[in-house]
Structures are given as structure tokens and as C-alpha cells.
Structure 1
């Protein structure tokens, strides 16, 4: 199944149902016609079938419309992160060589700066307010107004590339992940089934489309003939206003956004919300409990997956088993193998042992390999399996508990120590807002287990330092071997645009010290 046909069929079934909510609503008939015209405009502006179009916009309906139009134009969509710097953006543009790059008021200057470093610069087209298009830059929307509303010639093949997403590049250069129409369609179907997303569901579209979660929210809404309520940029108060006014029933967000919604003190007002799902990062039991108390959801799902293969496992009841990643998804197959980075898919660990998670590339949700990166393929793909780099253990019920990364494992004094186990224990401290554990260089131990802590507002760093150290000793339940040997109070924990912890920045020393338990290190 291709995504162009999927949208056209939904518009045939429910032409008058609201497809886009918010301040500028559209029915499916209207949105389908709009994307047909924009697909024609992409061709007219120079993106032929089989080419690629980079999209660098703040978000919301314009970006979603361009992404869906690219499917109909048989053009690969490349939503790029608005968090990229000029150097990183230039690298991606050189790597993927798009025919066009669409920009708006928020991204135009960044693109101009990046294009000075690009060997084969794409044509820049305007996707912001048509009345504010820079001189000499063609407007996609004005081109669409002149285009016929009939379907673009040619129908995508399910093997065509639908979208290419670039990973965040936290451990090196960004990697392009091409995903076919088939993979994207199956991932959207899996999302519907695995989260209980009902036909006609209303959902908040605030996750960025340069992340697989944002795409899944959009595409599953289209398949289910639901209402996608766009929010171009997250703001907790505005999100709650949208959720309440639009009667949003299902949320699919990263834990950091849920935390921000809770901090408003208003989440309980969102009586329409019945289904919660999260991905992208671990959720603490404390956050899960607070969400359950505020919303009383019918479904609370932990989705564990990646850009490369959308679903690894599904934890279907995060209220009963907070943080549990559950079992393989409906289109998935996983194994736990030896943590050695060079392990083969056949080196399955014994029952109850910690292993690295690998997922079968036979899944219809899976990619086929990275774009122009045989080195990355060699590292992550072996004998038909994708090596995620994650560590996990299965409990007595057969459910998976993810416990960090192979690269994050700390070898301290000859013992392998897993950060997330310690983080869960320390997160229960009443004096901690956030805590991340990583290994830092130590003369005696090789690496010292170090807790990076963000304290409560209004509490001095020195008080936080003393309180968390005392909690680790007396209240955490951690054996002495696993208690941190060093505590560092910092102003913030580094995160990616979608809330993933950038642990590597901490291990490399990229943080501001407010207080440090090492003698003479307090700032």
C-alpha cells in the first residue's frame, strides 16, 4: 500500500469529516484537494518523480501538507530538524542532494547560511506566508493555487522511498534512514492497533515530523480518518488549551512533554483524553503514576522502537508495569543476544540474563539500510537482524525491561554497571527533579559511576548535593557497589530536540557544574 492512495481512499470514505483541527480546520475532501495541488506544484518547481525534497519548516499544517503532497508527487520527503546548525544542515543537504528545499520565516536565514557550504545547492522555495516570500524565491502555495487539483500522474510503488529521516547524530555524523511507502504504511497500522487508536480519533500533532513519532501521529490519523490537531511548536499551556477545546482523545508524546503538561497543574482538566502512549525515552515510575492519577487513561502504552524499525516491543499497560517495554509488536520479532558489540544473532543469552536487543529486518516496518553509510550498515546490520545497541532483560512474564545502551555501560573496578538501574533508584529522591548516571574517568576505578542531578527550584546546589548523597546511602536501596562515587549538580540535563538524553555530552564533560562532591570541585 502507498501513502498517496491511502489518503485518497480516506477522503473518498469520509469527505466531510474534519481532517485538520485547530484554528484553520479542513475536511478530508479539502485537505486531499490541497495536497493534490501542492503535489503538482512540487513538480512545477523542479522536483521530478524519484527526486527528493528537503523540508525545513517550524511545523504544523504547512509541513504536514508538504509531506503528504510529496507522497502524491512520487517524491521522497526529507523533513529536517530545525535544531540543526548550519554545518550539520549543509552536511545533510550534500548527503541527500534534494531537488528543492522548502523554508519558512523561521528557517530561511539558516538555510541561506548552510547553502554557502553545499556543493550542489538545491532550489530554495518558500513555504511560509505567501505575502512575505523573499524576492526571487518562488512560493509553493502560489504555485499550488495555479496547479490543477487533479491527481498527479503516476502512482507511487510501495517500494518507493516515502521519507528519509536523519538521526540526531549524537554519536557522529547524522545518518539518513530511507523508509518506503510499505514500511511507513505498516508502521501506521501497527500504531493504530498497538495503541488502541480508534477510527475518528482526535489526536494532538505536536511531535515534529523530523521524528518518527510525529510522522506516526499524522499518518495513523489519516488512515483512521481521525482529526489531527496541529501545533507547530510545543507550549504546555497552549497544548492544554488545544487538547481541551478540540476534545483530543489520544496523546503520543515523549516523557519530557508529559512532564511539562503535568507541571501546568491543569492536565486533569483534559477530560477527553482516554489514551496515552509514549516513546523516544524512558519514563520514570513517578511520572507514570502522576499521569495515571491525573488522566485515569483507558490505555497507557510504552512504545519501544526506532527510526530504522518503527516497533520493537509494546508495553501495553504502563499503569500496572511502569517503564516495562513489553513484548514484540504485531509486525516484530526480537532477540536478546550477548552484549559484545560483535555478537552474532545466534548468541542468545540465557533466560533472565541481560542482553542487547536485536530486531528482525523481515518486519514490514523495517528499513533496508542507511543512506550512503556502509560503515553504519556494517555496525548495525548482521544476517538479517538490526542491532539496536540497547540492553534489556526479560522478566518472569517474558516482558522486556530496557536498561541502557551497550555504549553507556560503565566498567568500574572491573564490574559492569548499568546506569538506568541506578537512575530509577535515585529518581525516587524527593530532592531531585532529574537525574542521569554516566561514567567519568577516575584514576582508581577506571570509570566512576557519576550521578548528574538537577535539583528542585529554589534549593541551593549544595543542599541538593547533600540530600541526594544521603538518599543514595539510606533510602535508595542501592548496594554500595552501585551507589555513585561522584555526584554533580548541574543546571540542566542535555537533551535532543525530541527529549532523548544526550548522555555522551555528559561523559565528554559538556556540562556546567553547580556543585560537585569531588573534593575542591564545588563551583
Structure 2
């Protein structure tokens, strides 16, 4: 099944059902007609079947419409991160050789700067009002006005590239991950099965479409003939208003967004929400407990996966087992193998031992390999298995518990220490809002376990530091070797556009300390 056909079949079943919520709603019949015209406009602008087009917009319905229109026209959609710097963006443009790049008022200047260092720059297309189009750009809206209604007249194959996402680049260069119509359809289907997303259900479209979670919320909602409620930029109060007004039943978000919603103190108003799912980062037990007590959801799913293979495993009960990654997904197969970088997929660790998560590439949700990166393929794909770089153990029930990333492991005094265990212990401290643990260079220990904490708003950083130090010493339950040797109070934790913690920034010293247990002056 290709995505263009899937969209049309949903429209045939429920033409008058609300497809897009928010201030500018559309039925499925209206959205189908709108995406047809956008698809024809993209072709007229030079993006023919088999080509690639970058969509660099703030988000919301305009970006979703472009993505769905690209599926109908057989164009590989590349929704890139709006947080890329000019150098990263120039690299991605040169790497994927798009025929055009669609921009809006939030991204035009960045693209112009990036294109200065691109040898063969693509055509730039303006997504805003035609009258506002900057000099040197073509107007998408003007082209849409010139097109006639109706389908573009092309039906993609399920083997065609639907989308290419670039990894966030938390380490090294961004990597292109091409995904077929088949893989995207199967991933959306898996999402529906694994989260219990019901037919016709409404969901919040706030996760960016340059991330697999944002795409999954969109495509799964289309398959289920539900209502996708766009929010181009996250704001906790505005999100809560949308959830309540639109009677949203299912939320699929990163933990940082759930945390922000809980911090409003008003999340209990969202009585329509019955299904929760999270991914992208671990969730502390305290946050899971808070969400469970506030919303009492019917389903509370921990989705463990990646851009490359959408599902690794599913933890089906975030209330009973907060943080547990559960078992392999409905279309997945996984095993724990020796953490050594050169390990073979058959080097399976014994029950209860920690190992690296390897997932079968036979999954219908899997990609086939990175774009122009044989070095990355050689590192991550071996004998039909994808090596995720995640470390995990299984408990007595056979359920998976992720301990962190291989690259995040802290070697302090010859001992291997995993940050998430310490973070979960410290997260229960009532005198902090957020905590991230990394290893920072230390002359004696090699690396010192260092906790970066964000205190409650308005509280003196020195008070936060003293309170956390006391908690570590008296109430954390951590053995001495795992207690932070350094605690730093900061105003924020560095994160990517989708909420992933950028630990490397902290390791490199890229932070401003408000208070520091080493006595180092704030800088």
C-alpha cells in the first residue's frame, strides 16, 4: 500500500469527516482536493516523480499538506529541521540534491545563507502569500491558483521513497534516512495497533514533521480517519486549550512536552484524553506517576524505536511499569548482544546481562540503509540486524529496560556507570525540575559523574544546589560510586528540536552555571 492510495481510500470512506482541526478545519474531501492541487503545483514547479524536494517550514497544516501532496506526486519529501544551522542545512542540501526547497517567512533567510555555499543550489519556492514572495523565489500559492483541480495522474509504488528524514546530528554529521511508502504505511499501522489509537480519534499534531513521531501522528490519524489538530509551535497553555476544545483523545509526545503540560497545573482539565504514548527519550518514574494520577489513561505506552526502524519494542503499561520498554513490537524482532562495537548479532548475552539492542532489518518498518553513507551502514547494520547503540537488560518477566546509550556510558575510576539510573533516582528530589547526568573530564577519576539540574522558577540557585546535595547524601539511595561528584545548577538543559538531550554540549562545557558544587564561579 502506498500513502497516496491510503489517503484517497480514507477520503472515499469518510469524505465529510473532519480531517484537520484547529482554527482552519478541513474535511477529508477538502484536504484531498487541496493536496491534489498542491501536488500538481509542485510538479509544475519542477518536482517530477522520482525527484526530491525539501520542505523547510515552521510546521502545522501547510507542511502536512506539502508532505501529503508529495506522496501523490511521487516526490520524496524531505521535511528538514528548522533548528539546523546554515552549515548543517547546506550539507543536507548538497547531500540530497533536491530539485526545489519550499520556505516560509521563518526559514527564508536561513536558506539564503545556506545556499551561498551550495555548488548547485535548487530552486527556492515561497509558501506564503504570492504578494510577499521575496525576489528570486517562485510562488507556490500563485502556481496553485494556475492549476486545475483533480489528481496529478500518478500512482506511486510502495517501493518508492516516501520521505527522507535527517537524523538530528547529536553526534557527527546528520544522516539521511530514506523510507519507502511501504515502510511508512506499515509503521503507521503498527502505531495504531500498539497505542490503541481508535478510528475517528483526534490527536494533537505538535511534534515536528521532520521527526518520525510527528509523521507517525499524522499518517496514523489519516489511516484511522481521525482528526489531526495542528500546532506549528509548542506552547503548553495553547496546547492544553487545543486538547480541551478539540476533545483530543490520544497524545503521542516526548517526555519534555508531557512534563510542560503537567507543570501548567491544568492537565486534569483534559478529560477527553484516554491514551498516552511517548518516545524520543526516557521518562522518569515521577513524571509517569504524575501523568497516571492526573489523567488515569486507558493506555499508557512507552514506544522505543528510531527513525531507521520505527518500532523496537513497546512498553504497554506506563503506570504499572513506568519506564519499561516491554517486548518487541508487533512487526519487530530484537535481541541483546555483546556491547562491543564489532559484535556479531549472534553474540547474545545471557539472561539478565546488559547488552546492546539489535533489531531485525526484516521488519516491514525498517529502512534499507543510509543515504550516501556506506560508513554509517557498516557501523550500524550487520548480517541483517540494525545495531541501535542502546544498552538494555531484561527483567524476570522478560521485559526490556533501557539503560542508556553506549556513547553515554560514564567510566569513572574504572567503573561503568549509566546516567539514566542516577537520573531516575535524583528525579524524585522535590527541589529540582529537571536533571541530566553526564561524565565530565576529571584528573583523578577520568570522568566524574556530574548532575546538571534545573531548579524551580524563582528559587535561588544556591538554595537548589544545597537541597540537591542534601538529597543525594540522605535520600537518593545511590551507592557512593554512583553519587554525583559534581552538581551544577543551570537555567536550562540543551535539547534538540524534538526534545532529545544534547549531552555532548554539557560534556564540552557549553553551559552557564548558576551554582556549582565545586565552588567554580558562575560563568
> TM-score if structure 1 supplies the norm length?
0.98
Structure 1 position 370, deviation (Å): 0.6
Secondary structure of 1:185's aligned partner: helix
Q: 1:434 touches 1:453 (CA, 8 Å); kept in 2? A: yes
Structure 1 position 118, deviation (Å): 0.9
Structure 1 position 443, deviation (Å): 1.4
- Alignment partner, residue 296 of structure 1: 296
Higher mean alpha-carbon deviation, 152-161 vs 95-104, is at 152-161
Question: Is residue 183 of structure 1 aligned with residue 174 of structure 2?
Answer: no
1:147-166 to structure 2, matched below 5 A, reads 147-166=147-166
1:106-505 to structure 2, matched below 5 A, reads 106-505=106-505
1:17-32 to structure 2, matched below 5 A, reads 17-32=17-32
Q: Distance in 2 between matches of 1:119 and 1:478?
A: 55
Secondary structure of 1:71's aligned partner: helix
CA distances 1:444-500 after superposition (whole Å, capped 9, x unpaired): 111111111112222222222222122112101111111111111222111111111
- Alignment partner, residue 15 of structure 1: 15
Structure 1 position 521, deviation (Å): 4.9
Q: Distance in 2 between matches of 1:302 and 1:447?
A: 31
Q: Distance in 2 between matches of 1:410 and 1:97?
A: 39
Q: Distance in 1 between matches of 2:273 and 2:390?
A: 31
Q: Distance in 1 between matches of 2:463 and 2:70?
A: 54
Q: Distance in 2 between matches of 1:462 and 1:137?
A: 52
Structure 1 position 129, deviation (Å): 2.9
- Alignment partner, residue 46 of structure 1: 46
Q: 1:336 touches 1:356 (CA, 8 Å); kept in 2? A: yes
- Alignment partner, residue 73 of structure 2: 73
Q: Distance in 1 between matches of 2:419 and 2:470?
A: 19
Q: Distance in 2 between matches of 1:130 and 1:61?
A: 18
Secondary structure of 2:138's aligned partner: coil
Q: Distance in 2 between matches of 1:388 and 1:128?
A: 39
Q: 2:164 touches 2:179 (CA, 8 Å); kept in 1? A: yes
Q: Distance in 1 between matches of 2:26 and 2:368?
A: 35
Structure 1 position 145, deviation (Å): 2.5
Q: Distance in 1 between matches of 2:78 and 2:397?
A: 40
Aligned residues: 523
Q: 2:124 touches 2:136 (CA, 8 Å); kept in 1? A: no
Q: Distance in 2 between matches of 1:82 and 1:360?
A: 32
Structure 1 position 517, deviation (Å): 1.8
Structure 1 position 44, deviation (Å): 0.4
Secondary structure of 2:408's aligned partner: coil
Q: Distance in 2 between matches of 1:522 and 1:246?
A: 45
Secondary structure of 1:432's aligned partner: coil
Q: 2:512 touches 2:522 (CA, 8 Å); kept in 1? A: no
Secondary structure of 2:74's aligned partner: coil
CA distances 1:234-284 after superposition (whole Å, capped 9, x unpaired): 111111111111111111111111111112111111111111111111111
Structure 1 position 337, deviation (Å): 0.8
Q: 1:341 touches 1:406 (CA, 8 Å); kept in 2? A: no
Secondary structure of 1:89's aligned partner: helix
CA distances 1:139-196 after superposition (whole Å, capped 9, x unpaired): 2222122223222222111111000001111111111000000000000000000000
Structure 1 position 522, deviation (Å): 5.7
Secondary structure of 1:487's aligned partner: strand
CA distances 1:269-314 after superposition (whole Å, capped 9, x unpaired): 1111111111111111111111112211111111110000000000
Q: 1:104 touches 1:129 (CA, 8 Å); kept in 2? A: no
Q: Distance in 2 between matches of 1:35 and 1:229?
A: 17
Q: 1:250 touches 1:274 (CA, 8 Å); kept in 2? A: yes
Structure 1 unaligned residues grouped into runs of 5+: none
Secondary structure of 2:441's aligned partner: strand
RMSD across aligned C-alpha pairs, in angstroms? Answer: 1.1
Secondary structure of 2:449's aligned partner: strand
Q: Distance in 2 between matches of 1:142 and 1:114?
A: 25
CA distances 1:305-326 after superposition (whole Å, capped 9, x unpaired): 0000000000111011111111
Q: Distance in 1 between matches of 2:506 and 2:436?
A: 9
Q: 2:333 touches 2:360 (CA, 8 Å); kept in 1? A: yes
Q: Distance in 2 between matches of 1:511 and 1:135?
A: 39
Q: Distance in 2 between matches of 1:521 and 1:394?
A: 43
Secondary structure of 1:110's aligned partner: helix
Structure 1 position 47, deviation (Å): 0.6
Q: Distance in 1 between matches of 2:489 and 2:265?
A: 26
Structure 1 position 211, deviation (Å): 0.4
Structure 1 position 34, deviation (Å): 1.0
Q: Distance in 1 between matches of 2:223 and 2:338?
A: 39
Structure 2 unaligned residues grouped into runs of 5+: none
Secondary structure of 1:114's aligned partner: helix
Q: 1:520 to 1:111 in 2, by over 3 A?
A: closer
